Amino acid sequence: MKDDELKQACAKAALTFIEDGTVIGLGGGSTVSYLIGYIKESGINVKVVTPSFKTRMLCLKSGLNVLHTGSVSKLAVAFDGCDEVDEDFNALKSGGGIHTREKLVARMADRYILLADAGKVVNHLTFQKPVVLEVLEDALAYTEAEAVRLGGRAVLRRSEAKDGYTATEDGNPLLDIFFSHVDNISELQLQLKSIPGVVETSLFTEEVTDVLIAAEDGISWLSK
Ligand code: 5RP
């Protein structure tokens, strides 16, 4: 099966977790995009909260009702993609730089279900991709120094447009922190989060409740 077919299979399986008449969370990424198509096709009536501009646009195009995130405090379920997830339900998200809002939506949900193909599921997070920190601009140099103290290497996400750095929708810069190996993932999360000026990290150590995994031989489901 091609990668896209695995993502579609995963998104289709996610439909069984959605109840008619509920408010659900949808994160970012291509698997979530497929899920939006299946929700539309199924005719299930849901309202959506999303941290992702692209997902918001896709939902609106599909006729799904999107609520303002700030007006919602509780969701029955939220779905998201990830870059990597391990057997202890730690997940690393990196690419989109919208992890602060993604984590907020994850925390609102009774169940935060990651949609992943088997290649993303590992015994212990490998950190081949960086941990991303959304930080206040004033905290950039201090956070870089702290990241080095914790054994990482910090790289500012750059853009030609906005003052030389890529800004989140909330106007903050992003630091990609590369680690070669991390033994205690929860401790790292606490250490990074406690740096003054760090808004949020892209390490999800407490939020994930379920992982739907698509592989060549079918869909499997891990639940905490
Ligand atoms: C970005 C993420 C995305 O949710 C993830 O990359 C999406 O993956 P896919 O496109 O394979 O569904 O974590 O930070």
- pLDDT tens-place string over residues 85-111: 999 999 999 888 999 999 999 999 999
> pLDDT, tens digit, for every residue of 117-135?
999 999 999 999 999 999 9
Instruction: Supply the mean pLDDT for the chain.
Output: 96
pLDDT on residue 125: 97
pLDDT at 162: 59
Q: In this predicted structure, what is the pLDDT of residue 2?
A: 83
Interatomic CA distance for residues 50 and 104, integer angstroms? 10
- Tens digit of pLDDT for each residue in 35-74? 999 999 999 999 999 999 999 999 999 999 999 999 999 9
What pLDDT is recorded for position 178? 98
Residues forming the active site: 102
Pairing of strands 65-66, 47-49: parallel
User: Is the confidence at residue 213, as pLDDT, over 80?
Assistant: yes
pLDDT in tens, 189-200: 999 999 999 999
What count of residues does the chain have?
224
Q: Which atom of ligand 1 is nearest to the CA of 81?
A: 4
Residue 83 Cβ contacting ligand 1 at under 6 Å = yes
Does residue 12 line the site of ligand 1, with CB under 6 A? Answer: no
Kindly report, residue by residue over 63-73, the tens digit of the pLDDT.
999 999 999 99
Burial 114-144 (b: 16+ CB within 10 A, else e): bbbbeebbeeebebebbbbbbbeeebbeebb
Report the separation in Å between the CA atom of 17 and the middle of ligand 1, taken as the mean of its atom positions: 20
Radius of gyration of the chain (CA): 17
pLDDT of residue 163: 66
Rounded to two decimals, the pTM is 0.95
Calpha distance 69→105 (Å, rounded): 8
- CB of 130 within 6 A of ligand 1: the answer is no
Beta bridge partners of 117: 214
Q: Tell me what ipTM this predicted complex has.
A: 0.95
Instruction: List residues bridging with 175 in a β-sheet.
Output: 133, 156
Phi-psi region of 24 (alpha: psi -120 to 50; beta: other; left: phi over 0): beta
Ligand 1: distance of its center to the CA of 27 in Å? 8
The answer to whether the CB of 47 falls within 8 A of the CB of 72 is no
Please answer whether residues 200 and 143 qualify as being in contact, where contact means their C-beta atoms are separated by less than 8 angstroms. Answer: no
Mean pLDDT of 177-181: 95
